Amino acid sequence: MKDNLPDKDGFFGEYGGKFVPETLMYALNELEQTYKTLKDNNDFNAEFHKDLAEFVGRPSPLYFAKRLTEHYNTASIWLKREDLNHTGAHKINNTVGQILLAKYMGKKRIIAETGAGQHGVATATVAARLGLDCHIYMGSEDVRRQSLNVYRMKLLGAEVHEVNSGSATLKDALNEALRDWVTNIEDTYYIIGSVTGPHPYPMIVRDFNAVVGYELIDQSQESFGRMPDSIIACVGGGSNAMGIFYPFIKMDNVELIGVEAAGKGIETGEHAAPLNDGTPGVLHGAKSYLMQDESGQVKGTASISAGLDYPGVGPEHSWLKDIKRAKYVAVSDDEVMKAFHMVNKMEGILPALETAHAFAYLDELMPKMNEDQHIVINVSGRGDKDLNSVVEIEDIKL
């Protein structure tokens, strides 16, 4: 199997590419050249790994979930604790890497889009550290449901731009960030937050998050003497999943499972699961599975989780789906809330609603496993930011 993807034009099979207005080509080519030069540069890598160790707090632990394991009573369940990273999610791995690219390129202004706000916080954090001007685009619907993260970004000195166009969620924030970039192309670095967007972003974001998967190889060996049987991660754009899957793609006996947001149920059409119920199309500069209607218009999405509420998905996931190397399933909002409570009560861990999607698949997966097996869940982020939403969903008076 090819593991040197994307190809020189940025394609994973038929997916990916650079479908952007002409003005952006210059910036994408500049970024691609810079990354090509730096990715094998010792100084660059030393600086990246020093930041990951000292600022992010890596490696994140691989933790044995004893009570969850006893509850299902089949395979051992291990948790890759990305929720323990500085700023509370895997998103910081990518921003620490990309801000270094921005620094090497001499860019003074940073922009980013955010859905749940985790990527916005992670971007504002690294921009603050370097004293760079930072602008975050966020859909007004997400600003409402993730108000705590909005305040965190402001504390970090970022300007948060509320986006009211379209569905006022992540996809529209991305549109607006791209428009900002077209306008301020020469001095601005755009830190895309997922393995989406035009080439070289899906590759760069994957590579910076792949530290999660590489750590897991060593930690699995230390903890249970071999590679896991299954790795489970939630998929919105798919950066946490791509990061933990990537080093395992060549290991055919490791099952890779991505969990999408089925929202109110795949059959209702109100969901955010393009790999389960979408068709190939082009959005935000890349070809990938997409939720679209018969005229090629992008459909609205529905998910309890702002971070997964996105009609597209990273092109490499589309490729992994088509070649059947990874399996993509979907769980509903109701199943997610059940799993959210279960993880809190049984493991003392408050997962993000995005992350709770991965846990919600255990009900289906675990009865098929046996006691000698080991599965790993990528705990992509912590759920403090979601408490307002949960309180609202469950109609709780605080």
Beta-strand pair 109-114/133-139? parallel
Q: For residue 167, indicate whether it is catalytic.
A: no
Q: Looking at 194, 303, 332, 380, which residue is catalytic?
A: 380
Q: Is 165 in the site for other proteins (CB under 8 A)?
A: yes
* Residues 354-373, mask of contacts with other proteins (x by CB under 8 A): --------------------
Give the amino acid at 271. H
CB of 21 to other proteins, least distance (A): 4
Place of tokens 């940073």: 110
Contact between 292 and other proteins (CB under 8 A)? yes
CA distance 394 to 241: 28
Is 21 a residue that touches other proteins (CB under 8 A)? yes
| Bridge partners of residue 391, in order along the sequence | none
Q: Which amino acid is at 277?
A: D
8 A C-beta contact, residue 360 and residue 339? yes
Query: Pattern 308-327, binding to other proteins, x per CB under 8 A?
Result: --------------------
Touching other proteins, residues 180-209 (CB under 8 A): 182-186
Task: Using alpha carbons, select from 63, 87, 86 the residue that is nearest to residue 76.
Answer: 63
Determine the size of the site formed for other proteins (CB under 8 A).
Answer: 34
Helices then strands, each counted (H, E), the chain: 17, 14
Residue 282 is a binding residue for other proteins (CB under 8 A): yes
Q: Is 347 a catalytic residue?
A: no
Check: CB of residue 327 under 8 Å from CB of residue 257.
yes
Q: What are the distances in angstroms from CA 376 to CA 93, 117, 131, 345, 382?
A: 19, 25, 37, 19, 17
CB closer to other proteins, 161 vs 338: 161
Sheet bearing 133-139, strands edge to edge:
159-163, 133-139, 109-114, 188-190
91 is catalytic: yes
Quick one: which of 112, 126, 204, 283 contacts other proteins (CB under 8 A)? 283
In the complex, minimum distance from the CB of residue 271 to other proteins, in angstroms, rounded to a whole number: 17
Length of the chain: 398
* Options 290, 339, 352, 366; binder of other proteins; rule CB under 8 A: 290
Nearer to other proteins, 57 or 296 (CB): 296
Per-residue string for binding with other proteins, 142-161, x by CB under 8 A? --------------------
Strand partners, 163: 139
Residue numbers at the binding site for other proteins (CB under 8 A): 18-23, 25-27, 29, 165-166, 171-172, 175, 178-179, 182-186, 281-285, 290, 292, 294-298
- Residues recognised as catalytic: 91, 113, 380
